[in-house]
Structures are given as structure tokens and as C-alpha cells.
Structure 1
Amino acid sequence: MTSKTKRAQYTLEFKLEAVRLVKSGQSMAVVSATLGIRAQTLHNWVKAEREGKLTGAGMKPVTPEQMELARLRAEVARLKMERDILKKSRGILCEGVGVKYAFIERNRRYWPVSVLCELLDVSPSGYHQRKQRSTSDGPHRRRLSDDALLAHIKAIHAEVKGEYGWPRMWKELLTRGVRVGKERVRKLMAQHGIRARHKRKYIATTNSNHDLPVAANLLERNFSPAAPNQVWTSDITYVATAEGWLYLAVIIDLFSRQVVGWSMQPHMKADLVTDALRMAWFRRRPAAGVIMHSDRGSQYCSHLFQDAMKAYGMRCSMSRRGDCWDNAPTESLWGSLKVARLHGRQFATRRAAMDEVIDWLSFYNATRLHSTLGYVSPMTFEKNWFAAQQHRAA
């Protein structure tokens, strides 16, 4: 297979989502790092979309109507960004300039500094001067007051949308240079009623009542491979919207727990999981022999999915019938997603639900602290591993 053929296999859905993230205000560097693609490739997609020439494998060029729709969605995304900033900073707008600068520093990875400064009514030059002074002065060794620490905690709590309990909150504070004891964080959060959102149970989406061939369980609950691209897992979940169900399939690399492929469709047909697998393969380009583990659902047993795995040189593995623990890491991902972003939400359209899911997946891969990985994000964990391999080889 030639490299030209490989490049053509990126789905139009993936390209449009990448372009949409750039149009929503994120930098190309951030989007390319989050999605695992080259910055130049993303630049080419943005340019092609602007000219109406963006295509995917077997897809038609984007029409003028689609371009206008994309423009309107970008405008809606911009307004949503401003709304989210104001919502997160509601308790900070009346605070002093120092608290506002601290809020900007914590959220600069998500939104442009200029936008944050404008909405919080502070000067960008003042923010950069304050940051430069704090850097030149070195670490601040004075003990934070409870009020100052609480401001940090509330800002992070809003930033992660209530997803962190006190252990992750403590680790997040440490990674941001706030030196504080874990017991103090626990007590302060309990005192002010700041807690992680609780999980709920969800119905299964697996239909294993079919006559298609079923593979053996090669994984046997060994969820700790020694390197990336050795074991991938996959599953399907659903999101309710006013337009009907939206189904989400993901591919996870078990080594770093990173979501390396995904697809969202209004159906649960075989191409839902096949598109997710195709995205993962063309992003990672693994060597032959990867174990691809899933449940016994008809989508994974389908000829379409099985043929794709054979073409990529993968080995098929499936959970035992009705045993969700055989694919526990993916089940855990669904719990985190639904706790963090979906509980109590009512989405008017599938598009709105897709935006929320993609936003969380980007946060999960690049930023969210993962307890299994020693409280670093999946991307950071993998980056550190590759750096260690290079150091040993030197």
C-alpha cells in the first residue's frame, strides 16, 4: 500500500472535525497535537475546506451549503466559547486583578489569552507583565491562605466541569506548582461542598445474539501491555438527543489509555466501529500483530470490521459472553465521559452532542489526570515513555 493511498484514508468526518476545532478558536499546534496529526496536514485541510476542496476517502468535495453550515457552526462555537468562559469565571468577575490573572493562566491552554483578557476586562500586557515578574521571582514559598487555595480549587473544578474529586484535585494542584498537602485539599473541598460528580449505571448496547463467528479472548484481562500499539480495545455507547440517539465508538490504546480513534453516527451499523478503527490505524500506523479486543457485538463480528482487521494485520480478541469486566478500561472511559459531560444534559441536536463529546475526548487525551497512569494524562504518559526509551538507547 502506497503512502498516497494511506493519506486518502482519513475520513471526511475526521478532517471536518479537525478543521472545526481550529475554527472554534484553538491553535493549529494544539489541535494537531491533540488529534495526533502533523501541523502541515491540518493546515492543508483548513485551506482545502476554505476553498471547498476538502474530501475524505470515497467522499465528495464539500459543497457551498456545507461550507456555510461550517461557518455558522464556527460562529456558534465562538459564542459558546465566550459563554463558557463567562460561566466558568462567574465567581471571578468581581474579584481583584490578581485572581483574574490566575484564572487566565489556568485556562490559557483552552482559550486565547486575548479573549480571556477581553471578557474579564483586564489588559493582556498587564497579564504578561505579571507572568514575567512571577517567573523571574522564582517559586512562591509562602503558605497559601485558605481563600487563595480555594480560588485555585474552584477554578480547576470549573475547568474540569466537576470531574475531579480531592485526590485528582490535589495532584492537579501539584502539577500546576501549588504546593499543598492532600489532607488540606480534602478538608477544604469537603467544607465548601466541592465534590466530584457521581456515576450512574447505564444499559448495555451489545447485541451478541447473532450467528457470526466469535473470536477467543486473547487479552484475558491483562490490561497492562509493555508498550504502545500492542493492545487496543473498543466499545460502543450512546448519547440521547432531541433528534434521536447518537452512537459513539472508540479505539483505546491500553498502554496509555489514549483514545486513538473514534466515530459518531446516528446508527450502530458495522461502519461505525470500522471508521473508528480506520482512524486509529492511520493515526498510529502500528506494526502487524496488534491485539484488537472488543465485545461479541454483531458490529465487531461483521465481515466489514473483520476484513479491516485482517488488512491491518491485527489479531481479533473478544470478551466472554455478558462479561463487561473483560473490557473494563473501556467501560471506565464511558463512566468518566458520562459523569463529566452527559449527566443531566439535554442536547437539542446530534451536532451539539458531538461537540461536547469531542471536546471531552480532547481534554481526556491531552489533559485529564489518569489514576492508572500515576496521575498524568494519556498523552503525557506516552510522551514520557518514548523519552525514556530514547534516553536508554543513547
Structure 2
Amino acid sequence: MIDGLKADFGIKYLCGKLAVSESGYHARRSRPLSDRHRWRWELTARVLGAFVASGRADGYRKIAATLTADGFRINPKTVLRVMRDLGIMPLAARAAYRKAAARARRSPDPDDLLERRFQESIEPGTVLVGDITYVATSEGWLYLATVIDLATRMVLGWATSKRQTAELVVTAMNRARASGHVRAGTIFHSDHGTQYRSKRFASFCARHSIRRSMGKNFQCWDNAIAESFFSKIKNERLRWLRLTSRRHATREISNYIRYFNTRRRHQALGYATPAETMQQLTQPAATAA
């Protein structure tokens, strides 16, 4: 068997999987095998041969079907045991296994602290929402990350980059904090994007007493406010422009956010602007102080 497969796997690998020494393999070539050992070695050789012939893509069921079609009837579970002994699995299954192992190693995602309570009366700076979208330019994609105050709908922080990275969302949150409207212990709600699940962003939020919150997977309505802003900026500004560069797009985004915060009136705010709402909701606190 080793002679037939050594070109594909190598003598050292095959001897290791079959629990025989290389010297034992060379010595045994000159000795006859028992019927039981001969059958086991033939089975292993056929399984390995069928696996290699499939481009290392077939699982134990398909390999059992292949061997049966060739006149070597075998139970699929027996093939599975042989493959496990050899430590081989289909490439797709190997990739899936690695992804599952990576998911098991990572820290659990934050709970949903918001639960779609978008209309409840809340104080500015206590609940923030954010997301990432992409904008087409002549230079390629530009990614935009936002941090929006739920009480006033004001865009407190934003950032753009040609790549989706953890640094993109950290920069947006840092700019939100620089606005002076983010309170200690605030909730930041997002989707399950890798940037928001990254250790870099989690560490940043922990240092600045920001509690992370995430909705359910594949439920865009769990972050509807952030999605709504992206719809507005694209439909009201970016869709009608030919953005010649990422710098051009960033400039237009900046201009729109300034307009959005200070001049655009929102039905949800009683047709006030985010800036007016922020002033109205924070003025009593400022006066009392």
C-alpha cells in the first residue's frame, strides 16, 4: 500500500499514519502478510487512493460509494474510521472545521442591550448606534463608519478609509467622544461585523466605559437608525454625484453630515434638527449646573 501511495503522501507520512516505523516498513516488504492485515492494508490503500483521485474533496460516504461501484463493497462507517485513523478529511470540511474552531476560541459577542427600543425617551449621549457602509468612487470603494446619538439623531463621530478595519470604527468612536456628548457608561449598539467584534475595538470601549451591544445576526432592523442614515446620505447626496476620488467622496460626506446635523429637519424629532434637539435636551442640565 505504501508503495502505491508514497508518491502522493511520502513514506514518512504513511508510516506515521499506519503506526509503523520506516525501518519496519522496509523490513516488512520482504515478509508475507496475514489475510487480516492484507485486507486492512488494501482497504486503507483503496480509501487513500479514492480520496486522492477526488482531489481530496470527497467525504467518507462518497468514497464508500466509489469503492462499492468498483466492486469493493464496504460500509461507509468503516471508511469513516479509516479516514479518521489517517487524519484526512475533505478540503471543504477542513475549512469548515477551522472556522468553527475559530468561532469557539473567540470571546462571546455582547448581548442586545437595546432590543429595538428606538422610540423610548432617553438622554443624549447615553445610547449610540453605529455601522459601516461603502461608497463607490472612481478610485474604488470608500468605507464610512458612523456613531449616531439615538436621542437626537446627531452624527457625533464618523471616519472614512479605503479598508474596513477595526481602526476605522475606533476613529469614528474617538471623534464621537471628542464631541463632548458621550457619557461614561453609554451603550453603543452595532451589528456583528468583524470590526465591532475585534479585540482592538473591545479594548477601546472597555477603557472608555462604553458598553457594547449587538442585535441578532442577519437582522438589519436591530440597527435601523444607523441604516436609515446611510439611506439618507446616499439618496439625498452621494447617488447624484460623480465621485472622482476617495478624497472627493470624503469631502461630500463631511458636507452632508454638517447639513444633516444642523439644517436637516427630522419628523422623528418633531421637525427639529439634531443640533436643535441636542441643545433643547441638554440646556436644562446646563442651566441647573
Same fold (TM over 0.5): yes
Are the aligned partners of 1:225 and 1:231 in contact in 2 as well (CA < 8 Å)?
A: no
Are the aligned partners of 1:233 and 1:327 in contact in 2 as well (CA < 8 Å)?
A: yes
Structure 1 residue identity aligned to 2:110: A
Structure 2 residue identity aligned to 1:367: R
Specify the SS of the correspondent of 2:218: coil
For residues 369 and 256 of structure 1, do their structure 2 counterparts lie closer, same or farther at Cα, with a shift above 3 Å needed? same
1:121-160 deviation line (CA, Å, top 9, x unaligned):
xxxxxxxxxxxxxxxxxxxxxxxxxxxxxxxxxxxxxxxx
In structure 2, what is the Cα distance between the partners aligned to 1:334 and 1:285? 21
Among 121, 131, 134, the alignment partner of 1:235 is 131
Q: CA deviation at 1:284?
A: 1.9
Specify the SS of the correspondent of 2:237: helix
Structure 2 residue identity aligned to 1:240: A
2:274 corresponds in structure 1 to: 378
Among 332, 335, 343, the alignment partner of 2:239 is 343
For residues 390 and 282 of structure 1, do their structure 2 counterparts lie closer, same or farther at Cα, with a shift above 3 Å needed? closer
In structure 2, what is the Cα distance between the partners aligned to 1:295 and 1:317? 8
2:10 corresponds in structure 1 to: none
In structure 1, what is the Cα distance between the partners aligned to 2:233 and 2:211? 28
Q: CA deviation at 1:352?
A: 0.8
Q: CA deviation at 1:286?
A: 3.4
1:286-312 deviation line (CA, Å, top 9, x unaligned):
332110110000000000100000001
In structure 1, what is the Cα distance between the partners aligned to 2:243 and 2:286? 46
Are the aligned partners of 1:234 and 1:251 in contact in 2 as well (CA < 8 Å)?
A: yes
In structure 1, what is the Cα distance between the partners aligned to 2:181 and 2:150? 16
2:204 corresponds in structure 1 to: 308
Specify the SS of the correspondent of 1:292: strand
Structure 1 residue identity aligned to 2:112: N
In structure 1, what is the Cα distance between the partners aligned to 2:208 and 2:264? 30
1:279 corresponds in structure 2 to: 175
1:258 corresponds in structure 2 to: 154
Structure 1: give runs of 5+ residues left out of the alignment: 1-208
Q: CA deviation at 1:389?
A: 4.2
Q: CA deviation at 1:388?
A: 4.0
2:34 corresponds in structure 1 to: none
* Aligned pairs (5 A) from 1:108-127: none
Are the aligned partners of 2:176 and 2:182 in contact in 1 as well (CA < 8 Å)?
A: no
Q: CA RMSD in A?
A: 1.8
1:63-113 deviation line (CA, Å, top 9, x unaligned):
xxxxxxxxxxxxxxxxxxxxxxxxxxxxxxxxxxxxxxxxxxxxxxxxxxx
Give me the TM-score of the superposition, normalised by structure 2. 0.61
For residues 225 and 299 of structure 1, do their structure 2 counterparts lie closer, same or farther at Cα, with a shift above 3 Å needed? farther
Aligned length: 185
In structure 1, what is the Cα distance between the partners aligned to 2:247 and 2:226? 23
1:322-381 deviation line (CA, Å, top 9, x unaligned):
001111111110111011111243211111111111100000001100111000110101
Structure 2: give runs of 5+ residues left out of the alignment: 1-99
In structure 2, what is the Cα distance between the partners aligned to 1:356 and 1:285? 24
Give me the TM-score of the superposition, normalised by structure 1. 0.45
2:111 corresponds in structure 1 to: 216
Q: CA deviation at 1:283?
A: 2.0
Identical pairs, percent: 38
* Aligned pairs (5 A) from 1:3-14: none
